Amino acid sequence: MAAARRRARVRSTPSGVPDAEAHFVVCGDDALAERVVEELTRVHRYPVTVILPSRLRNHGPQLARIPGVRLVEAERLSTETFTRARIGTATALALLKQDDVGNMDAALVAQELNPRLRLVIRMFNMSLGHHVRVLVPNCRVLSDASIAAPTFVASALGEVAPSYVRLPGQTLSVALREDVAPDDIICGLADTSGGEPDLLPTDDERCDLVLVRASGSRSAALAEAAARGASVAARARLVGRLRRLVGALVSRGLGLSVLGLLAVLLGSVLALWLMNRHLSFGQAAYVTLLNAVGGASANLDMSGPEQVVQAIATLTGVALVPVITATVVEAVVNARLALALGSRSGPVAGHIVVVGLGNLGTRVIQQLRDLGVPVVAIDRTDGARGTRLVREHGIPLVIGDASQPETLRAASVDTAQSLLCLSTDDVVNLEAALQSRAVNPDLRVVLRLFDGEFADRVQRAFGIASSKSVSFLAAPAFTAALLEREVIGTISVQRRVLLVAEVPVDPGSPLSGRTVATAQRTGEVRVIALANSRTRQTTVSPPPDRRLGPDDWMIVVATRAGLSRMLVASSPPVAV
């Protein structure tokens, strides 16, 4: 790992007290802003200025109660507003409003006032974010929805969240201990057998969630299984799409009418063929079809049974023509309505119902679609962010209140495999979950909830499969970007998060010359690899007695508090 990668970090004193000159500015008043401010102040003990429209709205009251926070109330992020927030001396600025264009404009204004300012920008449109990174120096662009979406998708499918750590020449992944070979395990991450997960315990053998090497044989087996599953899933999707297409174009009653009349015609053909053995089956079908659609001429020379068959065929033909006409008209009308409204029509089963088409819901639907999982979407309004995506890809959409039983029935929640409640309203999410479980007790339910303690109580009381917070999953990445830390991944463990980070050992730091075992701390930090910038070699699972030098970089799995202490221990003391 090249020495050039060693970047200037926000320094702390050995006691953990941050540099008195460092302060941060955060723009936003939602759940993500609150989480980021809490981490900066309570975990890392930095002073923070928060710019928000009002201290009385949204999460303003909660932000006002956090010690070490100064509030600046302003509707616009103008030059005057940033000046009041002392942006000229700020270490970094976080733009966390859900407004891509507004955040980009604010970034340009702030950069003019402080060219050395480090910027962390929240964006949904990552294509626009790429251009912002090119135009604005010293800038990180992150999407909280993109960070959190894989965890929600994995929970809906009943799988471990797909987390990967890429090291030089090797990839590590998160897995269940029962699914991997013992030789592939790097370290234990958590014991989740109890109610609260025990992170990074001393005894690795207790951990059911582990970090493993991406074994070639295991990858090949998984790839083969995935290929077989993909083939079966492709056939199932084709059959399902044909069924949904027919169901969307033709109502059940009209379809049964057509099938009934066709059955009568087929019976007439068989009867005529059996009664007139000199006629071939094709000739019998020909005569019956002409009688049905062209009208019949009376033939007194025919026997009584033949006359009955002819009469039935004629009457069936008279009824069939208008039914076919009605079927065609209904199909055309339903197709046009589906294109115009994006509404769902017809039965569906084995799908995942996604409630809420905001930033997170849109990302989740994109990933489920990429995996080939059938989806039905629900949103209260027709103007949600993800409505356009849903309609473009022909994904069934139900417009309505997800907390109402009729809306859930319209989404066929009774035959769904999972329900993802991803709206920004905790009450709506909980009501939708409880209503759905009443209809389908076997339904896997994943809730988006902000309050962690409330979410835990809901899981225990109602047997909800999982409840997660977007801000809780995404905040560590935003905080790490503000502090210019080399966080290379996050691992979600229920409602807790582990960080995977690169930590350089600086000359003169408390850890320089100490062993790997000294750097590790039960429940907080585990060293999973050691990279040397001089030899350019990376050692996975380094020996505990290996001594750390100034050319070393530690790759660690840590809690937020553990990483903060690790960075203090790996940095030289700051002169006071």
pLDDT at 296: 53
* 8 Å CB contact between 243 and 295: no
Q: Are residues 36 and 52 in the same domain?
A: yes
Three-state helix/strand/coil letters over 522-572: CCCEEEEEEEECCCCEEEECCCCCCECCCCEEEEEEECHHHHHHHHHHCCC
Instruction: Tell whether 2 and 123 lie within a shared domain.
Output: yes
Q: How far is CA 318 from the centre of its chain?
A: 54
Instruction: State how far the Cα of 145 lies from the Cα of 122, in Å rounded to an integer.
Output: 10
Same domain, yes or no: 17 and 78 = yes
Edge-to-edge order in the sheet of strand 352-355: 397-399, 375-379, 352-355, 418-421, 444-448, 466-468
| Cα distances (angstroms) measured from residue 117 to each of 34, 97, 139, 280 | 21, 18, 9, 89
Question: Cβ distance 397 to 386 under 8 Å?
Answer: no
| 62 φ/ψ angles, rounded to the nearest 5 degrees | -65, -40
pLDDT of residue 78: 95
User: What pLDDT is stored for residue 321 in this prediction?
Assistant: 64
Residue 217: the pLDDT is: 47
In a domain, 418, yes or no: yes
544 found inside a domain: no
Whether 203 and 70 map to the same domain: the answer is no
d(C-alpha 31, C-alpha 28), whole Å:
9
Task: Tell me: do 130 and 5 sit in the same domain.
Answer: yes
Check if the beta carbon of residue 446 is closer than 8 Å to that of residue 429: no
Q: Are 536 and 489 in contact, with CB atoms under 8 Å apart?
A: no
Rounded CA separation 391/397 (Å): 8
Amino acid at 76: R
Per the CB < 8 A criterion, the answer to whether 209 and 174 are in contact is yes
Query: What local confidence, expressed as pLDDT, does residue 15 receive?
Result: 36
Q: What tokens appear for 462 in the block?
A: 């109602």
- Structural domain ending residue among the three candidates 166, 186, 215: 215
197/123 same-domain check: no
- Indicate whether 110 and 166 sit together in one domain: no
Are 46 and 40 spatial neighbours (Cβ–Cβ below 8 Å)? Answer: yes
What DSSP assignment string belongs to 191-224? E-SSSS-EES-S-GGG-SEEEEE--HHHHHHHHH
Domain that includes residue 181, residue range: 150-215
Q: Is residue 442 part of a domain?
A: yes
Closest among 455, 402, 451 to 429, alpha carbons compared: 402
Does residue 323 fall inside a structural domain? yes
What tokens appear for 202 in the block?
């001393």
What pLDDT, in 10s, does the model give residues 420-457? 999 988 888 889 999 998 888 888 999 888 776 677 77
Tell whether 525 is covered by a domain.
no
In a domain, 53, yes or no: yes
User: Residue 373: inside a domain, yes or no?
Assistant: yes
Regarding whether 25 and 131 lie in a shared domain, the answer is yes
Domain end point (choices 468, 498, 524): 468
* Whole-structure pTM value: 0.66
156 in the same domain as 138:
no
Q: What is the CATH number of the domain that holds 402?
A: 3.40.50.720
What is the tally of structural domains in the chain?
A: 4
| pLDDT confidence of residue 463 | 72
Residue 254's pLDDT is 57
Query: For residue 152, what are its two tokens?
Result: 């929600």
Residues 14 and 104 in one domain: yes
Angle (nearest 5°) at CA 185 between 179 and 188: 95
Question: Is residue 492 domain-resident?
Answer: no
- Domain check: are 389 and 448 in the same one? yes
Q: What is the CATH number of the domain that holds 290?
A: 1.10.287
- Confirm if 346 and 244 have CB atoms less than 8 A apart: yes
Q: What is the pLDDT of residue 1?
A: 41
Specify whether 3 is located in the same domain as 125.
Answer: yes
- Which residues of the chain fall below pLDDT 70? 1-21, 161-164, 168-169, 195, 214-255, 257-258, 261, 265, 272, 277, 282-283, 285-324, 326-347, 452-453, 465, 486, 574-576
Q: Which two tokens stand for residue 110?
A: 């702030």
Q: Which of 468, 497, 526 is the last residue of a domain?
A: 468
pLDDT score recorded for residue 460: 73
Contact, 59 vs 29, CB < 8 A? yes
Residues 6+ apart with CB under 8 A from 23: 46, 47, 48, 49, 86, 89, 90, 91
User: Which of 372, 424, 438, 446 is CA-nearest to residue 161?
Assistant: 446
The set of residues, in sequence order, having a beta carbon less than 8 Å from that of 144 and lying 6+ positions away, is 32, 122, 359, 360, 470, 471, 473, 474, 478
Name the residue with tokens 């059940």.
Answer: 252
pLDDT for position 42: 87
Strand-pair partners of 540: 529
pLDDT of residue 513: 92
Instruction: Compute the distance between CA of residue 263 and CA of residue 266 in angstroms, rounded to an integer.
Output: 5
User: Could you count the other beta carbons within 10 Å of the beta carbon of residue 221?
Assistant: 11
